[in-house]
Amino acid sequence: MVGTTGGPSGSAPGGTTGSGPGCQLSLSLTSQEAAYANGVDPQFTVAVVNKGTSDCDVDVSPKSLVLNVYSGLDHVWSSADCATGGKDLRGIAPGAVQTVTYTWNRTRSSQGCAPGSSAAGLGTYYGVVILGSGSGPNAPSAQSQPKTFQLKTGS
């Protein structure tokens, strides 16, 4: 699992661009809300944009496009811990956007997503999405900018 260095930088619009001949990916992570009340699971959308001039041969399914949630330097949750497979979503054409959504159940995760995990506390968190590189020159890796959100009390 890849972590980030430093802290969150708010809601910057895009992330690190992958590099392959003609394939340039940009990841953008958005949170459906800035703050989530008790009982509301945070939801996120990742937009994967090919800003290059040729198709990108990457898998952008939730098993390869990994959302990590942090509280400061504490790695709280990863979609990779609980990935159940699913079909590959491949072949992003130049100028095309592929979106993937995630819901975090507000619990800490560990590899294999063991039942009985402890609940995340109230506070400020941030998410970062990472796309690992595939095989071949048109399968670059990319990372989003951090997106900050809060878990709060109230309705």
CATH of the domain at 88: 2.60.40.10
- The pLDDT tens digits along the chain (155 residues) read 333 333 333 333 445 344 445 788 899 999 999 999 998 999 999 999 999 998 888 888 777 889 999 999 999 999 888 766 555 667 789 999 988 889 999 988 887 777 767 889 999 999 999 987 655 555 567 888 899 999 998 65
Quote the pTM value: 0.78
Residue 145 lies in a domain: no
14 within a domain of the structure (yes/no) = no
Q: Is residue 89 part of a domain?
A: yes
Q: Look at residue 50 and tell me if it is in a domain.
A: yes
| Secondary structure (3-state) at 97 | strand
What is the distance between the alpha carbons of residues 58 and 130, in angstroms, rounded to a whole number? 12
Q: How many domains does the chain have?
A: 1
Give the sheet arrangement for strand 97-103, strand by strand.
Answer: 25-31, 43-50, 97-103
Per the structure, the complete domain to which residue 80 belongs is given by 25-139
Token pair listed for 79: 């979609």
DSSP 121: P
Domain membership of residue 97 (yes or no) is yes
Q: Say if 116 falls within a structural domain.
A: yes
- Residue 140 and residue 155: Cα distance in Å, rounded? 42
Burial code (b: 16+ CB inside 10 Å, e: under 16) for 100-134 equals bebebebbbbeeebeeebeebeeeebbbbbbbbeb
Note whether residue 10 is domain-resident: no
Q: Hunting for tokens 């790695």 — which residue is that?
A: 75
